């Protein structure tokens, strides 16, 4: 029997990485490699080298990243650019040095200009100014895309390097970060509406005007999309991408306002109080809907609706707060 492919999932304890791990584990086709932060600091070049020396993975899913919402990005810009650049450079370069042929880099839809035409196609990359609140994080993610493309261009023919990038829209689901200040919008709202319900608060106030439109993708769908792209045949990928425009959007296909999102979450949780908005706080990008036509043409679409995904996410959140 041939040996199973050894797949290293960097960031396996994060929301996306853990979803990819569960999906690959369910297939029982692979030997999965993981390392927690206490076991492997991905910002330490020599530590990453030793890990690759010891384990010799065949494939890598690079889902490790420092992530956060508007408040976190505004408060810790130096950490967001430095830590993400270091992780990407160390993992991608050591993957190449150790003969890894297939790698998937997970980026973010914040790589696109703040005022990009909607829905945002892959071609919008580097065509305008980024959203200032998360520019450092976005710059790091753009660098990750270009790292993958550069290794492909220089070593694709000679070494068989095939490093791919996917750009998910806003993600949510089990394993998310529910920190009251540093979390993204869906986990932040789930926590606040849950606490408001328990404490019987008459109203919940949310940052911004409630008017920005956002697209959200359930993380289990994202995991399936990531594996789909990783396993896609080279000829199909080449037909839909180009060497210097190779990243692939992964979205749900529809968006909604923050107000509509808040109302949906309140309904799922059973909170009946008033929803207020503090328009003195920043809104961020006015709208962010990805054009996922490239991925759709290659044969993949999201399956989990926003309401069903929020129900599953709230169930997972309740498990995290059980005594």
- The sign one gets for the Cα dihedral 104, 110, 116, 120 is positive
184: left (phi over 0), alpha (psi -120 to 50) or beta: beta
Where does 76-176 have alpha helices with state H? 77-97, 135-159
In whole angstroms, give the CA distance from residue 165 to residue 219: 17
CB 90 within 8 A of CB 42: yes
Q: Which residue in 8, 21, 112, 137 is the catalytic one?
A: 137
Kindly give the residue spans of alpha helices, DSSP state H, lying in the chain: 15-27, 45-55, 70-75, 77-97, 135-159, 185-198, 219-231, 234-240, 258-269, 293-298, 306-320
Measured CA to CA, the distance from residue 3 to residue 49 in angstroms comes to: 23
Decide the pairing of beta strands 59-62 and 30-33: unpaired
Annotated catalytic residue 137: yes
Distance CA 245, CA 122 (A): 7
Question: What number of other Cβ atoms are within 10 A of residue 85's Cβ?
Answer: 18
Provide CB contacts within 8 A for 85, sequence distance 6+.
Answer: 140, 143
Q: Which residues are catalytic?
A: 137
């Amino acid at each position: 029997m041939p040996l199973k492919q050894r797949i290293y999932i960097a960031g396996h304890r994060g929301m996306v990485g853990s979803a990819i791990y569960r999906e690959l584990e369910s297939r029982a086709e692979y030997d999965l490699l993981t390392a927690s932060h206490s076991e492997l600091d991905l910002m330490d070049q020599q530590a990453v080298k030793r890990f690759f020396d010891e384990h010799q993975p065949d494939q890598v899913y690079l889902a490790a990243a420092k992530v956060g919402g508007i408040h976190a990005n505004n408060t810790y810009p130096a950490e967001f650019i430095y830590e993400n650049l270091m992780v990407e450079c160390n993992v991608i370069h050591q993957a190449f040095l150790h003969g890894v042929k297939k790698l998937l880099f997970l980026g973010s839809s914040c790589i696109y200009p703040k005022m990009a035409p909607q829905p945002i196609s892959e071609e919008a990359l580097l065509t305008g100014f980024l959203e200032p609140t998360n520019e450092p994080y976005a710059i790091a993610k753009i660098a990750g895309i270009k790292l993958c493309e550069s290794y492909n261009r220089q070593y694709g023919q000679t070494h068989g390097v095939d490093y791919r990038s996917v750009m998910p829209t806003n993600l949510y689901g089990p394993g998310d970060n529910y920190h009251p200040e540093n979390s993204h919008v869906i986990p932040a709202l789930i926590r606040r509406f849950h606490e408001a319900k328990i404490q019987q608060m008459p109203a919940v106030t949310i940052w911004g005007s409630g008017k920005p439109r956002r697209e959200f993708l359930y993380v289990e769908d994202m995991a399936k999309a990531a594996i789909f792209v990783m396993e896609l045949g080279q000829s199909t990928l080449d037909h839909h991408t180009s060497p210097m425009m190779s990243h692939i959007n992964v979205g749900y296909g529809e968006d909604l306002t923050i107000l509509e999102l808040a109302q949906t979450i309140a309904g799922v949780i059973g909170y009946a109080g008033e929803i207020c908005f503090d328009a003195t706080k920043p809104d961020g990008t006015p709208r962010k809907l990805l054009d996922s036509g490239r991925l759709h043409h290659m044969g993949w679409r999201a399956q989990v609706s926003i309401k069903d995904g929020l129900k599953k996410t709230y169930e997972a959140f309740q498990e995290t707060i059980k005594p």
